[in-house]
Structure 1
Amino acid sequence: MHKKKRKIAIISSTRADFGLLRPVIDELNKFDIESKLIVTGTHLSKNFGLNREEIISQGYSIDFEIPLPMDFTDNRKQLFGDAFNGFSLLFTENSFDLLVVLGDRFEILSASLAAFLSDIPIAHISGGDVTTGAKDDAFRHCITKLSYLHFSSTEEARTRIIQLGESPDRVFFVGGLGAENIEKISLVTPDELSRRFDFDFNQRFLLVTYHPETLGGNFEKDVDALLSALGSVNIPVLFTKANADEGGIFINEKIANYCNSRPSSILVDSLGTINYLSAMKCCLAVVGNSSSGIVEAPSFRVPVVNIGNRQKGRIQGENTINCKPVFEDIKKSINLAVS
């Protein structure tokens, strides 16, 4: 009598988390288990690059899709409800022995809550981190409390998970997936990037991603300060779009207007994991408030200008320059980064 294979589901909602989950998926596929990939969020949004196509092009099969109306709204209350309903139905119609999730997005929280109510054990990667400038900080801790297994990126994060009441024998310090991913991925050359996108990757340029600060920030004022500072330093900019947080659509519209008046700069929906990391390797500096500047840029020894409080609390490398979201501070920090 054949033993039934364990069925493990992995959820990805953004380009960023899929890039980090790739080595996990590859390792799981080496075992005699049945792994299922579930995608949601910006992977299925035209406005955010429709990243599902990149996933498929890299040889991965998508088993389930939970679409959300991100092309029409950035109201996270509505999107959370839609995601919860979608995952609840999926977990009612399909049984899983384990759900693997990463990070702190609201889509991941909705999936984790639906799985918890469906009695599906959850393995959470990158819990215990701190980002005090974003609601994601609370989401991350909520996911921790819903999860059974925990895989932290730092010893400090492991300690924090245990302080939240989780049993130490189920909390494992495994290190950051970003650095591991960079070691395993074959990056592309600036010439190849230039052929793929309408941009010269051999020139001096800044790689910029700016998300809304969802706790205490003023994204309308902050993005104006950023764009004014970028215009004053007069360096070509490769922008990737803000995420689907409330205010993301506004920020993307402001950046699009900036690029329309400056032919040397472009905005792309999504570069994809390989292209993004390759661009990071050859840029002058990473600017904005994306976690990629904190997690991945140190592996390339690329300077990072980290703006505002969105990533406040994360352990940072010596390559990071922190600044306030005001014109003079951002301009001064960019000039320091590229000097």
Structure 2
Amino acid sequence: MSNVEHLKELHGLPAFEFETEPKGELPAAGAVAWRVSVDPYGDSDIAFEELWDRFLETVDPAGIRAIIVGPWGEAYDNDSELIVNRLVKDRERLTGLRAVFIGDLEMEEAEISWIEQSDVTPVLAAYPQLEELGIRGGSGLRFPALRHEHLRTLRFETGGLPGEVVRGVAGSELPALEHLDIWLGVSEYGGDATVADLAPFLAGGGFPALRHLGLRNSEIQDEIATALASAPVVAQLTSLDLSMGVLTDEGMIALLDGQPLTHLTKLDLHHNYVTEPVAERVRAALEPSGVELDLSEPGDTWEHEGVVHRYTAVAE
């Protein structure tokens, strides 16, 4: 679970940990993104639900704009249905809530594949004004297709995202969605989405407001890049993120030989397996047009019995 850290901000607000015994004066309810978590291995034996109740008794619920949920118990024993249910239950108190992130755990707390999620769509149903939803962990995650009028940012951080989730998002009606970031992961940890599952994203039109598309951390990164070479959605984007995956010269050359990318403001390709000659070709093609490129952090390969192995940035 490398390269995964606690969020430092959410919805443009700095993260602030709510403690069981707050020390000093707390910030205004809407000035920070409140991180609520319990340490199942720590000295305190407080349960998450008790901490949640203290949080809403201490901080004005109506003023809270963003909530980050960290550990809520043993990561592999307790799924996020508890969190979803509490958010739904308290929807009439959290009237100003605009952003939620569920599963803000680092490697020291749990490997990303240990984080047990659930059906998170009831949160969107309960909060029709929600603008941002982020999820870390793909195990047990469900996202049946829905319609939501105001969601602008949707993010999945996983070491393996079920294809069922990808198809649910693809089938959803999200007319305000501007930023879609998906870590597809690897098949060993449940990441069984295919390029065919991504077809509705790539066709364009399904999310008319979409300006940023991230299809990241994937072992099929070459296939994705090749599909994007002729995908209609690219024309409507201002930024494209294909980082953290197993992108090689094959995919990169296909992308370069496809439709123009010079309208992009940013193309993120960090953690890749592109050789320097091809990287230079990318720079020569795009940097003169002002495209911000990130080709940093070349991935490490491992050779065994004549077979070269390449890895996504985040898996296990």
TM-score by structure 2 length? 0.29
Structure whose residues are more often helix by fraction:
1
- Bigger RCO (CA 8 Å, 6+ sep): 1
TM-score by structure 1 length? 0.28
